[in-house]
Amino acid sequence: MLFTAEEVFETIRMIEMENFDIRTVTLGISLSDCSHNSCEETAKRIYEKIVSKAQNLRAVVDEISDEYGIPIANCRLAVTPISYVASSCRTDSYLPIAYAMDRAAKELDINYIGGFSALVHKGIKTCDDILMNSIPETLEKTDTVCSSLSLASTRAGINMDAVLRMSEIIKETAFRTADRQGVGCAKLVVFCNITEDNPFIAGAMHGFGEGECTINMGVSGPGVVRSVLTRMEDADLGEIAEAIKKTSFKITRMGELVGREVSKRLGFDFGIVDLSLAPTPAPGDSVANILEEMGLEMCGTHGTTAALAMMIDAVKKGGAMASSYVGGLSGAFIPISEDEGMIRAVQRGALSLDKLEAMTSVCSVGLDMFAVPGDTPVETIAAIIADEMAIGMINNKTTAVRILPIPGGKEGGLVEYGGLLGSAPIMPVNRFSSSKFIRRGGRIPAPVNSLRN
């Protein structure tokens, strides 16, 4: 890939002044050859394979970051869903496997490892049941391991038994990590239409259709997009969309360059670039701020969903021109705790949980990193998840929920996590019950638009 002098100077400006970075280089590793009927032997094989395949990842990423002068925020790993890998194990807990994953990640200086996962959108197998039971203790006792579950899809419908079960697991995880304000739930996400090549945590996993080892890239850039819009005070919306598209092209081009170079030096396949704009708590590095630069007084007011839809469409158009290998989630993250503008919007009463849900109808990520009172009933959590799964199912898109029930937390409070996790205002939930609906169980059938053969 050849770069002009103008592109080089633009990249320098994006890095130095606009918070641009490569959010993550994620190495996906297949563990399909690690299965054994002994859980301890399976854990040993998993540890050895991860260490063998990823031993040079951190060094190569740091080397490329230094050579190109591009900050790379995270090195991450994603593995084959553990419920599948461990399906032959004669055990009632996959905690030894989680420990092996955590130990390998720490030894390799990896930020997070995803794939403590199961696909239960149509039913729960014995191995899935064991994995789900293992989640709360895993997220309590490990530091780097992340868990994701597929609960729904356009083809299968919504497994409401799994939705309720995961709501109970989310609550248990929160209270097991109550001494850390329920932070275990920040490493747990549930999906509709889960993707196999997602480089972002907590949903990263190495899907069944992937190769042996694959490099997937996650880019950042809300600050860059916002900076462009600050210079377009009198532009119409078509001109703004064009500017976002061109900026997304440049951001994705950087991700493609770094990803291909990492792949080349490690000898692994290059997978995809995820186009999702990933905010941070740093001032100005906010998706909400982009929407406000378009002319909204505050993110969450009327017009927010339309502005977000236009932004995401422009991001995808620009990114698709920069790379032929676009994948993962490729939308825009709209987490509450990780986005300074979203936090402010909630605190000022502009952004409610209902409005956030409406925004996810045009956003390929979902309800992310939002806090609710610790005494929120599991049925209410299940209903929130079910609503989000329905949006993904009907619209044939990926949606997800990463909810933080805060032990002892009350509506209007604030939870401070620090770092990239930021701080989360505790949002009110609807006080009317969904219990009877949720407790009916069963499976919500797939929609008619699933019949596409």
User: Are 199 and 263 in contact, with CB atoms under 8 Å apart?
Assistant: no
- In the three-class reduction of DSSP (H, G, I as helix; E, B as strand; rest coil), residue 18 is classed as coil
For residue 421, tell me if it sits in a domain.
yes
Write b or e for each residue in 178-203: b if 16 or more Cβ atoms lie within 10 A of its Cβ, otherwise e.
beebbbbbbbbbbbbbbbbbbbbbbb
Q: What CATH number has the domain bearing residue 365? A: 3.20.70.20
Report the pLDDT value the prediction gives residue 4, as an integer from 0 to 100: 56
In a shared domain, residues 255 and 352: yes
In a shared domain, residues 226 and 101: no
Residue whose token pair is 């490099």: 215
In a shared domain, residues 140 and 229: no
For residue 284, tell me if it sits in a domain.
yes
Q: Report the residue count for the chain.
A: 453
Query: Other CB atoms closer than 10 Å to residue 452's CB: what's the count?
Result: 8
For residue 406, tell me if it sits in a domain.
yes
User: Are 30 and 211 in contact, with CB atoms under 8 Å apart?
Assistant: yes
In a shared domain, residues 298 and 350: yes
In a shared domain, residues 154 and 228: no
For residue 188, tell me if it sits in a domain.
yes
Residue whose token pair is 């409610």: 352
Report the pLDDT value the prediction gives residue 13, as an integer from 0 to 100: 55
Domain that holds residue 122: 26-192
Structural domains counted in the chain: 2
| Residues sharing a CB contact under 8 Å with residue 327, sequence separation 6 or more, in sequence order | 195, 197, 216, 271, 272, 273, 274
For residue 373, tell me if it sits in a domain.
yes
User: If 0-12 CB within 10 Å is exposed, 13-18 middle and 19+ buried, where does residue 51 land?
Assistant: middle
For residue 67, tell me if it sits in a domain.
yes
In a shared domain, residues 227 and 320: yes
In a shared domain, residues 170 and 34: yes
Instruction: Record the tokens describing residue 97, joined without a space.
Output: 């496997």
| Residues sharing a CB contact under 8 Å with residue 286, sequence separation 6 or more, in sequence order | 222, 223, 226, 279, 339, 340, 341, 342
What does the alpha-carbon distance between residue 342 and residue 331 come to, in Å, rounded to a whole number? 17
User: Are 27 and 53 in contact, with CB atoms under 8 Å apart?
Assistant: yes
DSSP 8-state assignment for residue 44? H
For residue 200, tell me if it sits in a domain.
no
What does the alpha-carbon distance between residue 189 and residue 175 come to, in Å, rounded to a whole number? 16
What's the whole-model pTM score?
0.94
Q: Give me the residues paired with residue 187 across strands.
A: none
In a shared domain, residues 138 and 237: no
pLDDT in tens, 125-175: 999 999 999 999 999 999 999 999 999 999 999 999 999 999 999 999 999
Pairing of strands 157-159, 213-219: unpaired
In a shared domain, residues 147 and 73: yes
HEC secondary structure over 108-160: CCCCEEEEEEEECCCCCCHHHHHHHHHHHHHHHHCCCEEEEEEEEECCCEEEH
Report the pLDDT value the prediction gives residue 205, as an integer from 0 to 100: 97
From the list 111, 14, 3, the residue with the least C-alpha distance to 70 is: 14
For residue 351, tell me if it sits in a domain.
yes
In a shared domain, residues 426 and 278: yes
In a shared domain, residues 245 and 383: yes
In a shared domain, residues 223 and 259: yes
Low-confidence ranges of the chain (pLDDT < 50): 5, 8-9, 17
